[in-house]
Every structure is written in structure tokens, then in C-alpha cells.
Amino acid sequence: MSDMHRTKQARDRWNFLWEWANPVKFMWFSGRVLPWLIAATVISLVASLVWGFFFTPEAINFGSSVKIIYVHVPTATVAVSAWFMMLVASLIWLIRRHHVSALAAKAAAPVGMVMTLAALATGAMWGQPMWGTWWAWDPRLTSFLILFLFYLGYMALWAAIENPDTAADLTSVLAVVGSVFAFLSRYAVNFWNQGLHQGATLSLDKEENIADSYWIPLVIGIGGFMLFFVTMVFIRTRTEIRLRRIHALELRERMADA
Amino acid sequence: MSTMTLEARDLTVSRGGVPVLEGLSFRLDPGQVLVLRGPNGSGKTTLLRTLAGLQPPMAGEVSLPPEAIAYGAHADGLKSTLTVAENLRFWARVHGVHDIEPALDRLNLQALRQRAAQNLSAGQKRRLGLARLLVTGRAIWLLDEPTVSLDRASVALFADVVRAHISAGGAALIATHIDLGLETEIFDVTPFKADPNAPSRTPTPFDEAFA
Amino acid sequence: MIALLARDLALAIRAGGGFGLGLAFYLIVSTLVPFAVGPEAAVLARIAPGILWVGALLACLLSLDRIFQLDFEDGSLDLLATAPIPMEGTVAVKALAHWLTTSLPLVIAAPIFGALMNMPAPGYWWIFVTLLIGTPALSMIGAFGAALTVGLKRGGLLLSLLVLPLYIPTLIFGAEAATRGIGGFENTTPLLLLAGITAASVALLPFAASAALRINLR
């Protein structure tokens, strides 16, 4: 009861924002925006990758392998952002019970996982010629591996639970608790690798000593991958909403038979 | 004693997100036994679980005094390696009750008190499950098919227990198909079956538009 | 709540295996490692704290699904949810029972298994201390994972997938504190961080776990 009351109050104040949490509104809105999003994604991705791959000078001591940063850095950025987006969406679901929010979190997880994997893979490809090893237990690399595990667990929990609302609730609780532990892990990993094993610090922090000519296409690339993420989440959320609708219709039919 | 009343107003209960019973309004006063009737799958268990607070109602409200409910489900919550007395004493202690002897007496379990629950027959287990109600010290009993696997004599024993409970100011809502021989009112849930094709059923039409 | 603890302990003792199984598993893990890495004493001594920590973590994981599963199946959890004990209390007590029956024996056995791996003398003390501080967090995090998966038919594997990543910080600080302690280095910081994780887990996770349990009971 109080829930309804709160919803009503908030509706008056945040009307413009929460309206998009209505599945029907969301479908209408996302349907109109998607073509533009897709276009913007393609343009910015092509621009940044072409610029980055073919029109930036080769670094003297890095060779052409440095150009993988135009995939590596944006995917890594999106991988972390996607988890944050899932955390926020989960909180919105837990507090406000907007179905679109829960479904958007579900939709974002595989995208975030693929981004994490891409960041890890490009990191390895870059690390090979750079440091002569595919993998180092560098704090950053390790953190991304852990993030990957969190994505796996989150998606597995979604897949395991039949009732969609129960699944949304439990995965949201996991996202909240998992975020705390993911953050702790990040800190722990930093601590762990500057521990007894000194000297083995391979830093991926290239941003600070990167020249402008590399920087601009990189920023465009980050924007492009972000747009790609948003586009994918929109498409996948639309799919999830349609699946829920089918599920609801089937249930209704079964109820009518009973 | 009027505070010990359970009241449901315009209640809709759901199973797996789908409403099964809607528009339920009733009250259960002290000294009253209400028998729930309805075909299998009509939502009696869902209703009882909602009233017990195990799941939230989809719409409407339930008002009841705090800590007044004793819920008796299909499963009795018995531990097979514990004896009858140990099982019962556990639930008594959880509810802050110390004396389990009356409950053992009333359900004719004294002879079995040292037997492990795994060696009880189905009917004996059920009797132990019902004895648990007595050690909760709670006024409102919500019982889901309490007489399953009880023989005729045990059903009579159970009816006596319920009779004593209501004459002491308690109340009971019982989903059952057999006649307990009590002064009961029948509450048939069949007319409240949720219509799956109703256009708008959700508590917050703003939020939900999946179907 | 004491009644619940007493019952869980009684059940663990009567069922047998409660203490024994995890401990036997721990012994086997500690025995297998030398077979895999070779009998060289210096190597074993170096990896011993890590192996003992990972082994304790896996042995702890083994019995997690039993924290709530049996009570869920026989209806006890429904009845406990309507009982006057707050759900958070139920969770905390059940995690405590798990710690007493599963983790505590591991903590006590760890120094003995350390001897199998030629751990230097200070190691006996440090592995005991770090596990003693860290295992309550393992039991509590495990109880949270068990609460998430209690309604699932084959939740065991999923439970491992969910819980093990959550164990990472505890493992890192625990093993680091033990390793540093054995090497004669300063290890106050990792010890304090380990204690911090345990304290925070015990204080906060019962709320998350009881929320998950309530969702699963619906």
C-alpha cells in the first residue's frame, strides 16, 4: 500500500524520468531512438578505429602493436561501466520495482562480460610483444579476471532461476553484495601484488604519458564503445521485455485453461 | 480480544507473479473456525502463505496482530534424527514456551516421546506437526490440509485440540475437505478465482504493462 | 536463537560426517599437492600457507549447501520465518553453526597438515591465527551464497561459482598475512584487513542473506 503511495508521489515529481521505466513507454522510446544510436555507434567506432589504426604515428619503442589500445582501453572502460550500470539498475529494481530496470541489468551482463573478455584478450595480445608474456598477475589484469568471474556468477544465477521476479530480486541482491566484494578484491589485489613479489609491476597506465595524436581517437573510441554498449543494452532489453510479454501471455493461457 | 482478529480487505494473492485469487475480504474473529474450500490448485495454500506473511499480497491488505500466527504447512519441519520430544522442545524454545508435556498429552504422543522422528509413521509425524501448534502459544492458526494421513481417531483428536483452542479465545483458518465436526463456517474461494483475461489487474498500472 | 544453535549442532553430530567429511577432504587436498608439485621440502614449505588456505576454502565450500537446504526442504524454514526469531538472527546462527562444525575443525587441523608440507615452525602459529580470523567470513559469505541458491534443485555447482569470487579478498589477505608472518615480515596490515572483512561480513551479510531467503520462500 505504502509502495503505491510512494510511487504516486514520485510520479508527480519525477514524471519525466520514471515514465521510461514503463515497459510500453520504454518500447516506444527505445524504438525511436535506436536507429540514431546505431548510426552514432557505427560512425564513432569506424572513425576512432580507422583514425587510430591508420593515421596515428607508430611509436618508436612500441611499434604498431600499441594500436591495440584503441580496442583495449575502450572495452576495459565499458566493462567496468557496465557493472556499475547493473548495480544502479539492480538498486532501482530493489527499491522501486521497475521491471525495465531489472531487465536492463540482465541485458547488460553478457555485453559487459564480452567487453571484459575483449579487454583481457587485447591486453594479452598487447602484453605478448611488450613484455614477452601473455599473462602477468598484474593488479589490473587480475582485477579484470575477477570481474569476469563476477559476470559469470551473475549470469549463471539469472539462468538458474525460473521465476523471473525471483531471479530479478536475487540477482539484484547478488549485484549489490558482489559490487562490495569486487571493490574489495580490487583493493586486495593491489595489496597482494605489491606485497612480497616486488619488481614484477607491469603497469597498464598509459594514459598519463600518451600524446595528443593518440589521445583524440582514443576518446572517440571510448565514446563509440559506450554508445555500442547502450545500443546493445537497448536491443537486448527490448528482447527481454518481449520475452516477458510472451511469458505472461502463456501463463494467462494456462490459467484460463485451468 | 478484539485485537486478535485477522482481517483481509480486497486481497489479491499471486503465485509466480500471476494472480490466483482476487477481491478476497473476510475476517476471522477469536473463537471462530473458518474452513477454506476450493478445488486443487485454486490458491488455498497461496492464500495461507500470504496471510502467514511468507509472501507479500499482490494487492489489498491483511491486518493482524503481530506475532499471532502459527502456520501449519504440508511439511512439518521435523528433523529425522531428533526424537519426538526434542523436535517439539526445539519449537517450544523458539517460541519461548517451556512446557511441552501438555502438547504431547493432547496429541497422544507420550508413548512415542523418545522415538526418532525418522521412525514415525506418516500419521504420527503429522500429529507431532500439529503438537507444534500448541507450543507456539499463538492465537491464530493457519492450517493447510492438517488431517492428511491422519486416521479417524486422530482426526477426532485433532478436532478436540482445535475445539479447545477456540474455546480459549483462539481462532483457526483451515484448508481441508473433511468434516471436522466443529461449529465451522465454510469459506469457498472458488468465486474469487482471478480472471486471467481481465484487462487491468496490476496494483500499479503505471509500472506493469507486460500483458 | 540458542535453541536453534543447539539443534543445528545436535543435527550435525547425529548425522555424523558433519565434522569428518570436510576434514577428510582437507587432508586429501593437503596430501595431493605434494604429489603434484614434487616432494622437495623447500618448495612445499614455500607454498604451504597458500595450499592450506585454498584447501580450507574448498573444504568449507563443501558443506555450504547444507546450511539452509535441509531446512528448506522439510519446511522448517517456513516455520522459522513465522517464528519470533528475526530472519537475520536465523541466518547468523546457522552460519555460526557451520563455522563451529566445519570451519573450526579445519582451523585446528591446519597446523598439523602444515607439518606434512614441511612448514617452518612459525607457520603453525600463523596459519592457525589467520584461519581463525578469516574462516568466520568464509562461513558467513557461504551462508549468503547458500541463501541465494536454496530454492534451486541443483544449486551446488552454482553456489561454488557465486561464492568463490566472493572469497577472493579473504583468501588474499589471509594467505598474505600467513606468508608474511612465516617469513618474519610485518603482517599487521593484512591481519587487520582480514579481521575487517570478517567483522563486516558478520555484521552486514546476515541482512543480505535473510533478504535472499525471504525471496526464496515466496
Shortest distance, CA A65 to any CA of chain C (angstroms):
32
Which chains have at least 3 CB atom pairs separated by less than 8 Å from chain C? A, B
Say yes or no for a CB contact (<8 Å) between B18 and A249. no
Domain ranges of chain A: 31-257
* Chain B contact for A244 (CB, 8 A cutoff): yes
Neighbours of C171 (CB within 10 A): 22
DSSP B134-171: HHHT-SEEEEESTTTT--HHHHHHHHHHHHHHHHTT-E
Pair A37, A52: CB distance under 8 Å: no
* Chain B contact for C215 (CB, 8 A cutoff): no
C-alpha B40/C-alpha B176 separation (Å) is: 11
* Strands of B33-37's sheet in order across: B69-72, B140-144, B171-175, B33-37, B185-188
pLDDT of residue A1: 37
Pair C96, C90: CB distance under 8 Å: no
Shortest distance, CA B106 to any CA of chain C (angstroms):
21
Q: What is the DSSP letter of A63?
A: B
pLDDT of C159 higher than 60: yes
Q: What residues of chain B score a pLDDT lower than 70?
A: 1-3, 196-211
* Residue matched to cell numbers 589504426: A53
pLDDT of residue A58: 65
**Candidate from B46-55, C17-26, C91-100, C133-142 with smallest mean pLDDT:** C17-26
* Strand, helix or coil for residue C194: helix
Distance (Å) of CA A46 to CA A65, A71, A223, B131: 19, 12, 12, 74
Residue A67: φ, ψ to 5°: -70, -10
Give CA angle at A230 (A228, A231), nearest 5°. Answer: 65
* Chain A contact for C190 (CB, 8 A cutoff): yes
* Mean pLDDT value across chain C: 90
- The domains found in chain B, sorted by start residue, are 1-68+139-211 (3.40.50.300), 78-138 (no CATH)
**Candidate from A153-167, A182-196, C82-96, C116-130 with smallest mean pLDDT:** A182-196
Query: What are the residues facing B140 on neighbouring strands?
Result: B69, B171
Interface test with C, best of A87, A154, A170 (most C CBs within 10 A): A170
User: By CA distance, what is C218's nearest residue in B?
Assistant: B55
pLDDT of residue A15: 55
Helices within chain A (DSSP H only)? 2-18, 23-54, 69-96, 99-131, 139-160, 164-193, 212-257
pLDDT of residue A206: 47
Burial of B7 (0-12, 13-18, 19+ CB in 10 A): middle
Query: What are the residues facing B28 on neighbouring strands?
Result: B6
Pair C31, C116: CB distance under 8 Å: yes
Average of per-residue pLDDT across C116-142: 92
Burial of A61 (0-12, 13-18, 19+ CB in 10 A): exposed
Among B18, B61, B207, beta carbon nearest to A255: B18
Nearest to B21 by CA among B41, B43, B36, B6: B43
- Higher-confidence residue of A255 and C113: namely C113
pLDDT of C107 higher than 80: yes
Q: Which of residues 115-174 of C touch A (CB under 8 A)?
A: 141, 144, 148-149, 151-152, 155, 158, 161-162, 164-166, 168-169, 172-173
pLDDT of residue A210: 57
Measure the N-to-C terminal CA separation of chain C; round to a whole number of Å.
23
Say yes or no for a CB contact (<8 Å) between B94 and C3. yes
Q: What is the ipTM of this complex?
A: 0.90
Q: What is the DSSP letter of C150?
A: T
| Dihedral angle of Cα A142, A143, A145, A151, to the nearest 10 degrees | 170
* Chain B contact for A252 (CB, 8 A cutoff): yes
Neighbours of A158 (CB within 10 A): 19
Residue C43: φ, ψ to 5°: -65, -50
C-alpha A232/C-alpha A41 separation (Å) is: 10
Among A11, A23, A163, beta carbon nearest to B210: A23
Say yes or no for a CB contact (<8 Å) between A170 and C172. no
Determine the angle formed by the axes of helices A164-193 and C121-149, rounding to 10 degrees: 160
* Strand, helix or coil for residue B34: strand
* Chain B contact for A152 (CB, 8 A cutoff): no
3-state SS record for B62-119 = EECCCCCEEEECCCCCCCCCCEHHHHHHHHHHHCCCCCCHHHHHHCCCHHHCCCEHHH
Say yes or no for a CB contact (<8 Å) between B61 and A1. yes
Pair B13, B57: CB distance under 8 Å: yes
Pair B3, B65: CB distance under 8 Å: yes
Q: Is the four-CA dihedral A60, A61, A64, A67 of positive or negative sign?
A: negative
Q: What is the DSSP letter of B28?
A: E
User: pLDDT 10s per residue in chain A (258 long)?
Assistant: 344 444 444 445 555 556 666 788 888 888 899 999 999 999 999 998 888 888 777 665 556 677 788 888 899 999 999 999 999 999 999 998 888 899 999 999 999 999 999 999 988 888 777 777 788 787 888 889 999 999 999 999 999 998 888 899 999 999 999 999 999 998 888 888 764 333 333 344 444 455 667 778 888 999 999 999 999 999 999 999 888 888 777 877 776 665
* Strands of B6-15's sheet in order across: B18-28, B6-15, B59-63
Q: Is the four-CA dihedral A36, A37, A43, A47 of positive or negative sign?
A: positive
C-alpha A159/C-alpha A156 separation (Å) is: 5
- Number of B to C CB contacts under 8 A, please give it: 68
Burial of A25 (0-12, 13-18, 19+ CB in 10 A): middle
Pair C137, C123: CB distance under 8 Å: no
Q: Is the four-CA dihedral B71, B72, B75, B79 of positive or negative sign?
A: positive
* Chain C contact for A114 (CB, 8 A cutoff): no
pLDDT of residue B78: 87
pLDDT of residue B177: 82
Q: What is the DSSP letter of C101?
A: I
Cell for C52?
A: 592450506
Neighbours of B182 (CB within 10 A): 15
Nearest to C67 by CA among C162, C159, C169: C159
